[in-house]
Structure 1
């Protein structure tokens, strides 16, 4: 009998959880499929990207809304360090309301749009505003939907060499409310296209991280279920650099799948002490994402030890790439750089949110059946923008 996260398909269907469970579990294979898609389109991608990336003054903006924005927040610091390029992460929800604060009219710019459906009002509006404001603007659309509002915009383009649309593998256009395989695949695509990795190294890294995550989907199930069964009414995620964005995405997953019944917070490792630590109380779970970088790891350990020593939070746990015998520190056993640890850390957060939703008696596939919050955002008015 087919199972996802150790639940039978029949059980999952009865509890409105089949899509979320399947989309979490399918990610390792989705990543392998994405690698094949990029390999097949390597020539076209290089023809589009290479002339842009050869310009040292190119500005790169990673954008999206919600999870799609947080994916960019996670990747931008890493890409900035590794490629020495001007890489920024601005949400479409910020660009649309204040475009001149985020878009540089006289800088050659590549806008990388993360979009699960490609139909969110802000997704198209941000692209149009970029074209209106930036004199030399290019677009890389990363979507999970081959036919959408972004593709319609592309079809009307007079200069097709200015836009490239890469569609994620089949199955990534999540049917569940919360983004899981969609956001992880778009993040992986960004790493593979913009980081300075040769094909062999990229292939080996994807295969290794996919294998690690397949193992963790099994071994972490009992841990996440046990944590979810505790009466935490607050969950706080913390991490530095690319893990700050992952902490933000992880906090959103809990908030979404519990329909707001669990309060969440995210912060950087050092930032938590500057006021937000008041969020930690006796019904809190704190999850720390440890870096594999020795310098950063010192700060990770200091905060973790402080939180444990405080004896305030109900539970404090950490995820690390290093071996650990401490039951509060879960080892991923991965020697790859931090940008690859993003993926098992994401999987853990997705599993925990899924189990918490079930524990609260909700339906993870649609935790808000009354429709106040929708899978594809509704009710957004887009207004004409007149340049000053």
Structure 2
């Protein structure tokens, strides 16, 4: 096996079960839930960029039909068109960000100050010194700072993604008010060595496709992003739904394509996924096919809604991405260190002032 422990990114992956256990013992979700319930907000928006946007998409898709008036609104959309989103509205804006100071985060806070100053905010961040933790607001503002370890000094958002996703679910899922952090930590601890063995015995493919239904499709977006980032684009990564895959995207598959399905525990979704697996196995017998989730090759063994299993599914992509990055001879913690084309906190964005109309 490779000596991956020298990379911060790898250690961050391996630390996730412990981080979740420690967080379960220190995070008092009930107090924040009570504060959320006290707010007079007609909608709740989950706002972030990149991996943080994928957290919002995963939460909103996973709680659809169980919590009313949830929206995923990436900060990249708000900053580009603030008036279209914010004028005349006062949603609870859940800001998500590892650094808490990306340009789009700052631009969203600026837009809120001008166009919706009394809108309540709940800021989830890994950085106690960033704008999401420190910046004052006119209206109600709650802050949750994740464990310091989730700030890991590497390009990719790893434990910050999974821990922030679990934290958001603990705050907004009405069905599971007692977050199953400990059970998820045990499941991931069991699966990580198997993920590592798979990655070690799989060469970096030309491309990889992650498939998932509902919240697992949102998780598949994050999975694809991890591989794309950490291999510096040398492995092209895509995501799609199992049903949507036949509508054109399947044309990408050949013998040098790796396929990963995040399986659903929902009976109807699982039927469609099983049909696609049979089809892919028949049409592309040489393509690598891996499944993770209920009833899958890598089964967490937990009876939980799909959205709660998303962090475990994404961890497979994290392991593949780091292992392949190392195999490609890249600086795993900063694959763009020689060019600076991609940085841990996005740079090069000019923020333009927002004014009321």
> Into which bin does the TM-score normalised by the smaller protein fall?
over 0.9
1:144 matched to which residue of 2? Answer: 126
Residue 102 of structure 1: how far off its partner (Å): 3.1
Provide the secondary structure at the position in 2 that maps to 1:185. Answer: helix
2:156 counterpart residue number: 178
Name 1:292's counterpart in structure 2. 265
CA contact (8 A) 1:96 1:129 kept: yes
The TM-score normalised by the length of structure 2 is 0.94
> Shift of residue 7 of structure 1?
5.6
Which digits, 9 at most, give the CA deviation of each residue in 1:51-107, with x for residues without a partner?
12xx5x621111111111111111111223222x1111121111100123333x334
Alignment partner, residue 3 of structure 1: none
1:198/1:74 CA distance change after superposition, 3 Å: closer
Deviation at 1:47, TM superposition (A): 4.7
1:171-210 matches, cutoff 5 A: 171-197=149-175, 199=177, 201-202=178-179, 205-210=180-185
CA distance in 2, matches of 1:221, 1:71: 24
Distance across 2 between alignment mates of 1:158 and 1:339: 33
**TM (normalized to structure 1)?**
0.87
Q: Does 1:129 align with 2:111?
A: yes
Q: CA deviation at 1:251?
A: 0.4
Counterpart-to-counterpart distance in 2, 1:140 and 1:376: 21
Question: Cα distance, 1:180 vs. partner?
Answer: 0.4
Alpha-carbon distance in structure 2 between the residues aligned to 1:258 and 1:341? 25
Aligned to 2:20: 31
Tell me if 1:362 matches 2:330: yes
Aligned pair partner of 1:344 in 308, 312, 332: 312
| 1:114 and 2:86 matched | no
For 1:386, the equivalent position in structure 2 comes to 355
Secondary structure of 2:351 counterpart: coil
Q: Paired residue for 1:214?
A: 189
User: Alignment partner of 2:211: what SS?
Assistant: strand
- In structure 1, runs of 5+ residues without a counterpart are 1-5
Aligned residue for 2:217? Answer: 244
**Secondary structure of 2:208 counterpart:** strand
Are 2:127 and 2:133, in contact at CA under 8 Å, matched by a contact in 1?
Answer: no
1:112·1:141 contact (CA, 8 Å) conserved in 2? yes
For the residue of structure 1 that corresponds to 2:27, the secondary structure is: helix
Contact 1:239 1:268 (8 Å CA) reproduced: yes
Mapped partners of 2:356, 2:240: distance in 1: 35
Q: Helix, strand or coil: the match of 1:20?
A: helix
Q: Report if aligned partners of 1:280, 1:312 keep a CA contact under 8 Å in 2.
A: no
How many residues align structurally?
356
Match of 2:51 in 1: 67
* Aligned counterpart, 2:83: 100
**Structure 2, unpaired ranges of 5+:** none
1:143–1:168: 8 Å Cα contact kept in structure 2? yes
The match for 1:223 among 193, 198, 202 is: 198
